[in-house]
Structure 1
């Protein structure tokens, strides 16, 4: 993201430069400056609509400000919102998504909760039922579902495996990145690879997606960044809402994963509803074989 001056932030930069922008770009700036809190939760399409311009105009706005991408714009807005006036030698330190050094326990809980709820709401708004329906159909026809994920996104992949294995689907996921790539090379026609990356720019995940697609597998990307390298490679994209008040240092947060988990559950629910009869049979069989024996004699859960 563009460097910020010693006493400024992204909103200050936008305000200073607004008058020199073209009318279309100035319209984007006006929407952001009028209500930064609202603007930081908008998708690129929603921001463009508010400004009465095309998505490509917002992309030009990002380039004009030397921003790396739309997530960097939302990050900069969030940082500006949460910044606190202080002497240069006493400025609060950014330690987590919207959380500053010195925040009270109550403030920390409120900010983390707010970020989590917002991530769920924004993801629900971005999920496309048609994309989920098509993905569910391809998963049903697949001989095997492969997963590519790293870092905390691996948790989302493991959640998906638990869902789909119980529904009777064969799944493969290796935490080792080299083996992930090898596994992707064994995928072929009739297989599905689900590549999960919040940023969409994790090189190993993009590579696995490219390999699987080269070998004929259907590749589904789960990412918050429609302009990412992953989104450009895959056959279909399930869009989530990623972190908006984080940084490269603190990017591996739970807030960014709520969107992934919601998207995975929505995909599974779509699959289970469409193929109810066989899914119900597999759920019953897996419960009797693997879950019921682990429960205490008097347990009803």
Structure 2
């Protein structure tokens, strides 16, 4: 699904009823929206122009004109996608072949859709912050901790002081000792995990630069962070939805790690060589 409509679907549950009315109309009638001036659109929906402009701002557009241009560009992509598969849930009793295809497609689609909504400016800010950081802490609970731990492992390979704790009490205690030269990264697809919120809030109060990796839109964690990175994943009933969001977040971690490594390659090359050498020596001979 094209970027504008992905963003709208991600924020549906977190906007006002009047904004939701506009959002649903746009999702159902993208072709007509691309040809309508704001006054005519407001009349058709039965809402105010101000509500439409407010929704456009929530979606990170300067105004309705920019949003309409984006929708127009998206329509061609939508027609192509109509010919392809959509997100598909795994159903009880599915064949193994169907499960393999659905999970693989959903994971791939979550990465593709994340690429549509991710901000290159925000990624660049995050990379610069990590490059300059004395210390990086990754906060996540449950499945999100696995992503945080993966990030810690990656950045440790290039000699960054990177930490991640599975215990939320250790997370918040460590966050309290961060300083302005440090970076804290909060990982939570919903953006509403309380322990992660408490830790990133403490990190911000301690002066650290804060980065969030959440679903698109307004949520408590991204709202308080300095740098906001968004991912997209399907909202489907079986755990394949959570699996896809994990894949999308891991992909963002890989992007950050690769960009930091590229930017500091001459400095970190020896550390990468050291880690590769140590891994080779641990293999069974």
Same fold, judged at TM 0.5 (above): yes
CA distance in 2 between partners of 1:291 and 1:129 (Å): 33
Per mean C-alpha deviation after superposition, the further-off stretch among 134-143 and 264-273 is 134-143
Which structure 2 segments of 5+ residues have no match?
1-16, 31-44, 59-87
Shift, 1:127, TM fit: 2.2
CA RMSD of aligned residues (A): 2.8
* Shift in alpha-carbon separation, 1:25–1:211, aligned structure 2, 3 A: closer
**Partners in 1 of 2:206 and 2:266 — Cα distance?**
32
Aligned: 1:168 with 2:163: no
Name whichever structure is richer in helix by fraction: 2
SS in 2 for 1:163: helix
Show the counterpart of 2:69: none
Which residue, out of 92, 112, 117, partners 1:101?
92
Tell me how many residue pairs correspond in the alignment. Answer: 222
Residue 236 of structure 2 aligns to a residue in which SS?
Answer: coil
* Cα contact 1:132–1:270 (8 A) shared by 2: no
Where do 1:8-19 residues align within 5 Å? none
Q: Distance in 2 between matches of 1:147 and 1:279?
A: 20
Q: Distance in 2 between matches of 1:55 and 1:291?
A: 53
Consecutive unaligned residues in structure 1, runs of 5 or more: 1-20, 36-50, 60-96
Q: Match of 1:186, SS?
A: coil
CA distance in 2, matches of 1:27, 1:185: 42
Q: Is the 8 A contact 1:151 1:252 kept in 2?
A: no
The answer to whether structure 1 residue 156 and structure 2 residue 147 are counterparts is yes
> Structure 1 27/206 Cα, relative in aligned 2: closer, same or farther at 3 Å?
closer
Partners of 1:207 and 1:155 in 2: how far apart? Answer: 19
Q: 1:163, CA displacement in angstroms? A: 1.3
Residue from 229, 247, 252 that aligns with 1:258: 247
- Once the two structures are TM-superposed, the CA of residue 192 in structure 1 deviates from its matched residue by 0.5
- Determine the structure 1 residue equivalent to 2:55: 56
Mapped pair 1:29 → 2:28: no
* Residue 182 of structure 1: aligned partner: 173
**Deviations 1:98-152 (CA, angstroms, capped at 9, x unpaired):** 2222433333333222211110101122222222222122112211111110111
Q: Name the CA distance, whole Å, in 2 between partners of 1:224 and 1:173.
A: 21
CA distance in 2, matches of 1:241, 1:128: 13
Q: Please give the per-residue CA displacement for 1:150-194, whole angstroms capped at 9, x wherever unaligned.
A: 111111111111211111101111100111111111111111101
Please give the residue correspondences for 1:30-179 in structure 2 after superposition, counting only pairs within 5 Å: 30-33=25-28, 53-54=52-53, 56=55, 98-179=89-170
The answer to which of 208-217 and 225-234 deviates more is 225-234
Farther off after superposition, 113-122 or 258-267: 113-122
- Which segment drifts farther, 279-288 or 211-220? 279-288
Does 1:214 find its partner at 2:202?
Answer: no
Q: What TM-score does the superposition give when structure 2 sets the normalisation length?
A: 0.70
Residue of structure 2 in register with 1:295 after alignment: 283
**Cα distance 1:25–1:128, how it changes in 2: closer, same or farther (>3 A)?**
closer
Cα 1:271–1:123 change in 2 (3 A) is: same
Following the alignment from structure 1 to structure 2, what is the Cα–Cα distance between the partners of residues 106 and 282? Answer: 42
Deviates more, 1:237-246 or 1:185-194: 237-246
C-alpha distance in structure 1 between counterparts of 2:95 and 2:28, whole Å: 28
From 247, 264, 267, the counterpart of 1:275:
264
